[in-house]
Amino acid sequence: MRAILFIWLGGGFGSVLRYLVQLGTSKLFTVTFPAGTFVVNISGCFVIGLLYGLATKYAALTMEWRLFLITGICGGYTTFSSFSYEGISLFRQGNYTYFILYTVLSVVVGLLSTFFGMTVVK
């Protein structure tokens, strides 16, 4: 139950942070390109990489901090960071087939699912 509390608190913080970053970015860039989401996704990937690096190289984070920062904040901020980390993990483990399959399927099926979901509503 304690783990869920850490994830819940971090997730709420990450979601609010995502909203604020997207809002701020949309005020800076007034183009059709979804710059806010792009900034969130890329910065989330960097942060999750940094946190996992610290956690594994220096054993710098307790399980509670990992749950709060990585699963909670990064998960609430962007799930793209989890996708990116899992893909890199497959690549580093030498699972190249699964890496390619996971990457291509996630992007293509994700886009198709979004399209079909929008189509159902119409």
Q: Which pLDDT score, from 0 to 100, does residue 30 have? A: 79
Supply the pTM of this predicted model.
Answer: 0.76
| 76-114 per-position pLDDT tens digit | 998 788 888 889 999 999 999 999 999 999 999 988 988
Neighbours of 48 (CB within 10 A): 25
Q: Which pLDDT score, from 0 to 100, does residue 122 have? A: 66
Q: Which pLDDT score, from 0 to 100, does residue 115 have? A: 85
Q: Which pLDDT score, from 0 to 100, does residue 6 have? A: 97
User: Do 3 and 67 touch, CB atoms closer than 8 A?
Assistant: yes
| 29-66 per-position pLDDT tens digit | 877 778 888 899 889 989 998 998 888 888 888 999 99
Residue 97's alpha-carbon distances to 88, 93, 102, in angstroms, are 12, 11, 8
Which sign does the torsion angle of CA 70, 98, 94, 96 carry?
negative
Neighbours of 12 (CB within 10 A): 13
